[in-house]
Structures are given as C-alpha cells and as structure tokens.
Structure 1
Amino acid sequence: MFTGIVEETGTVVAFEDRQAAWRLILDTETITDDLAIGDSVAVNGCCLTVVAIEGKRIHFDLLAESVRLTSIEGIGPGGKVNLERALLPSTRMGGHFVSGHVDGTGVVENIEPRGKDFFFRIRPENPENLRYIVHKGSITVDGISLTVAEVDASGFVIWLIPHTMEITNLHTKKVGDKVNLEYDLIAKYVEKLFAGGGGPN
C-alpha cells in the first residue's frame, strides 16, 4: 500500500526482456537507505518487488501483465520515474490509499502553465474507466496522488503546483506521452457491490 506522495525520481538504466522475466534497472539517490530485497516500491505507480540492490542501483522483475498495462516499456534509458516505498504504519497519510496496481494508461492531451500553476489534461486509453473519476476525487497519475479538477466524457484535468512539477517526473512530460493511471479503489468496490458481484449469489 502507498500514499501517492512521491519520494524521489529515479533514472532508468535498462529495461530488458530476459528469459525468466522483464528486468527493470534504476539508479536512485535516497530510497535505498533502508531498502531490502523483497521490498515493494511503486515505480510510476506500479507496485514492483526489489530483486537486487547494487549500491544505489535497484533491480526489479516484471510480469508480462505489468508490462502490458503500464507505460514502463516505453520510457527508455535515461527516462525519469517516480518512486515511493511502501507505506509504514507510522507514515503520515498525505495522499490517498494507493494499491500500486495500475488499471491502465492515459495520454497527455494538453500541458499549459497558467499563472503559477500547471494545467494537465489526460485522456484514459479506455474511456469506460472515466466512470471511476469524479470532480474533486482522487486519481493516481504515474504514482502521484492528485485531485481531479474537471472531468468530462473523454478525459479529465488536474492542476499542479510548481513543487509537484519539480519533484516528480511530470516536468519531463509532453503532449502525447503515456502515463499510468490507478483509479480510486473505493469506486471499484462500490461498483462491484451494486452490480451484485459481491458474493457467490
């Protein structure tokens, strides 16, 4: 479980199609300080397990499903990714409950500085997922807990303060880029319950 409050950005060293699994290798600065093999880290919002640590360099193995549902394969060496270690019981809950299970990707349609803030419009690649997004609700974009400012039939808008742009990978984004999206877990449970899918009957 995560909060969606990014701790740092890491740099992609390699993303390799190995015989046993896909291997993602990242260079980091601070999150390795108390990290151990087997720990969970959200990488652009995708929960991954640490399989090797070499100084400040971290290795992850990915399932084919993780590659299919996320934007990780397309980032490339030198690309920046948002990193957050798993939630501790003593951690301040600054964002919202984020599982790290990416629902799919979205495409950045517009980025504009407006005054001191930044305007982002994002179109989910599966438009049916817009039913999970509500005005002033929570959305996870590349692992960042954000508030929905606007939503319509084709996409949604988020506003970013300069601090968020500075400490996350969003300052590297351009129109047409893909981002990972995780929708509010509560909305998905409520939908299933009201659809009568909450039990065997």
Structure 2
Amino acid sequence: MFTGIVEELGTVAAVVDQGDAIRLTIEAATVLEGTGLGDSISVNGCCLTVAELGEGRWTADVMQETLDKTSLRGVVPGDRVNLERAVTVDKRLGGHIVQGHVDGVGEIVSRSPSEHWDVVEVSLPGHLARYLVDKGSITVDGVSLTVVEAFEDSFTVSLIPETLARTTLGSRRPGDRVNLEADVIAKHVEKLLGAHLPTHRSTNDEED
C-alpha cells in the first residue's frame, strides 16, 4: 500500500525485452534506503517488486498484464519516473490509500499554467467515471491528487509548485499517457451497496 506522495524522481537505466515481459532497471537513491529484495516500490503508480539491488539502482520484472494495462509499456532509458516505497505503519498518510493497482490509462488533454499552479485536464476511461466526484481523490502516475471537476470522460486537477517540481506531472504534455487509480474506498462502497440496489431489470419489472 502507498500514499500517493512521491518520494523521488528516478531515471530508467535499462529496459530488457523478454518477449512477454520486460526487466526494468531504475536509478534511484531515496527509495533504496532500507529496501530489500521482495519489497514493493510504486513506479508511476504501478506496484513493482524489487528483484535485484545494485549501487544506486534496482530492477523489477514487469509482466505482460502490467504492460497491457499501464503506460510502462512505452518507457525507454532516460525517462523519469515517480517512485514511492510502500507505506509503513508509523508513516503519516499524507495522501490517500493507494494500492498501486492501475485501473486504466488516461491522456493529458490540456494544461493551463497560472502564476502559482497549473490546471491539468486528464481524459478518463468510461468505466472509471462513476468513481470520481468533485474534491474526491484520484491517483495520476502514482501521485495523490484532489479532483477539481469530474466530467463524464475527463477530470481536472490543480498542480501546486511542489507537485510540478517533484513529480513527472510537471513535464507531462497534451497527448502523454498517464496511469490512473481510482479511490479504492469508492470501489468497495460500490461493491457493498450493489447487492442492495435495484438493477435495471428489476426496476423495469416493477414498472410493468
């Protein structure tokens, strides 16, 4: 589990194509402190397992399922990535509960710079729209953000200078793909209430 508070920007050092997977090596510093083999690190919002550790770098295996459903498919050496270690029980939950399980991929639609922040619009896969509400939480490339406005097929967020400087969102441009994770609490509430809400079929039956 993560908080969506990025600890550092890492740099992709190597991408080894294994056919149905890749081996991804990332240069980092902060996230290597206290990290051992088998630990979890979020990379642009994707929870990856540390398979190898080296001096100033670490390696993870990225399976086909992850490549199919996230933006990690397109990473190349030199790319910057958002990194966060799994949260510990004594750490402040500065963002919100993030699992590192990407729900879909969106695209940067537009960004409107102002003196103190940027307003960024991100496209939204249709199946995720029901989980977003104004002032609710969304994770974009592993960054915990507050939704400014939620639309049917997109949403906007305001990026403060700290976010612009310390994460990849500062350099994302229209057309760039980003990983999205909806608020897990919203998904659990939907699941729990599903058994008690009328279905479309039952509503029609009652009208008949």
TM range (shorter): over 0.9
Provide Cα deviations, 1:79-98, integer angstroms capped at 9, x if missing partner. 11100000101101100000
Give the number of equivalent residue pairs.
196
User: Is contact 2:20-2:63 (8 Å) kept?
Assistant: no
Partner SS, residue 106 of structure 1: strand
- What displacement does 1:43 show? 0.5
The one-letter code of the counterpart of 2:106 is G
- What displacement does 1:19 show? 5.8
- TM-score (normalised: structure 1): 0.93
1:105 aligned partner = 105
Identity rate of aligned residues, in percent?
46
1:18 aligned partner = 18
Matches for 1:29-44 after TM superposition, within 5 Å: 29-44=29-44
CA RMSD of aligned residues (A): 1.4
User: Is contact 2:20-2:64 (8 Å) kept?
Assistant: no
Partner SS, residue 34 of structure 1: coil
1:69 aligned partner = 69
Provide structure 2 residue ranges, at least 5 long, that are not aligned to the other structure. Answer: 197-208
2:136 aligned partner = 137
Provide structure 1 residue ranges, at least 5 long, that are not aligned to the other structure. Answer: none
Q: Using the alignment, how far apart are the partners of 1:123 and 1:15 within structure 2?
A: 28
- What displacement does 1:128 show? 2.3
**Structure with larger Rg:** 2
- TM-score (normalised: structure 2): 0.90
User: Is contact 1:15-1:73 (8 Å) kept?
Assistant: no
Matches for 1:1-201 after TM superposition, within 5 Å: 1-18=1-18, 21-124=21-124, 126-196=125-195
